[in-house]
Amino acid sequence: MFIKKSWISKLSILLLISLLIFSFTACSNKANETTEEPKQVTEENNTPEDNTAGDKEITLATTTSVNDSGLMDYLTPMFEKETGYTLDVVSQGTGQALQTGRDGNADVLLIHAKADEEKFVEEGYGLERVEIMYNYFVIVGPSDNPAKIAEGDTAADGFKKIADTKSTFVSRGDESGTHKKELKIWEANSIKPEGDWYMSAGKGMGDVLQMASEEGAYTITDKATYLSMKDKLELDIIVGESDDLMNQYTVIQANPDKLEGINKEGADAYLKWITSDEVLAKIGEFGKEEYGDALFSINYQGK
């Protein structure tokens, strides 16, 4: 017992000493920082360019699908290094991203829902839509393909067969870009998706793919998310690059005349950067190594 106690006291003394050392070093660090800070301020004040350049922080609101593909993680450090800006990427569903834009909480948006984007610009919240890149949605489903969707069918054909055979279909149901695309395809068929076979999940793409896999159901997804999860899913691509599955991504700057506190210079810099030939080429290559297939194709037409 006594030996143990002495050990404990020794240990606690050791701990105390190390804590003391830690706090000392922390204090000295702080002291250093405080002495350095005023210097930086004066330096900044001395250079007139910095005053006009203003805010070096930009907020970009984007959809989960862009972010989940890893594209933002790939691009952001490059942008920050080359331009000196700090980029905060907020990844949300398209609906929430648009609301973030309307509330003046984002300087730039990178989204994919044409009708909403046009409304956003019309209402004066955004400057013009700049089409950057596209990819294809795909319809995935169980390999036994109970709806007997044939190769070469369009998305509309596929959806009709799903509804006719009442095969289970999982919908995002969250007003995301993907969900809106899905609704458009049902609409094109004049089908009102309802009933036991139609599950409106109200969840993100990854969750919905998991659900479809569990339920042996069909769903529509962006290719990037599907490819990144393919190994864990019991789902195959049933309809691939059909014209009615094209998915356009657009960059929109928030309108500084309508919204307060928008970093216009920063947003300009981002748009200029992302539409430069080098960056577009990099986006066009993105995913080739990892998935054996590029995730995005470029269709930027110039301003």
- What is the nearest approach in angstroms of another protein to the Cβ of residue 256? 21
Contact (Cβ atoms closer than 8 angstroms) between residue 86 and residue 58: yes
Sign of CA dihedral 70, 74, 77, 82: negative
CA dist 187 to 152, 169, 170, 192, 199, Å? Answer: 20, 16, 17, 7, 17
Indicate whether 99 belongs to the interface with another protein (CB under 8 A). yes
Indicate whether 95 belongs to the interface with another protein (CB under 8 A). yes
Indicate whether 126 belongs to the interface with another protein (CB under 8 A). no
Q: Cα(58)–Cα(283) distance, rounded to whole angstroms?
A: 20
How many residues of this chain bind another protein (CB under 8 A)?
22
Contact (Cβ atoms closer than 8 angstroms) between residue 107 and residue 262: yes
Indicate whether 236 belongs to the interface with another protein (CB under 8 A). no
Q: Apex CA 192: angle with CA 189 and CA 197, to 5°?
A: 110
Indicate whether 100 belongs to the interface with another protein (CB under 8 A). yes
Indicate whether 221 belongs to the interface with another protein (CB under 8 A). no
C-beta closer to another protein: residue 146 or 173: 173
Indicate whether 146 belongs to the interface with another protein (CB under 8 A). no
Contact pattern for another protein over residues 173 through 202, marking x by CB under 8 A:
xxxx----------------------xxxx
- What is the nearest approach in angstroms of another protein to the Cβ of residue 214? 5
Q: Cα(41)–Cα(89) distance, rounded to whole angstroms?
A: 27
Q: Which residues bind another protein (CB under 8 A)?
A: 92-93, 95-100, 102, 173-176, 199-203, 207, 211, 214-215
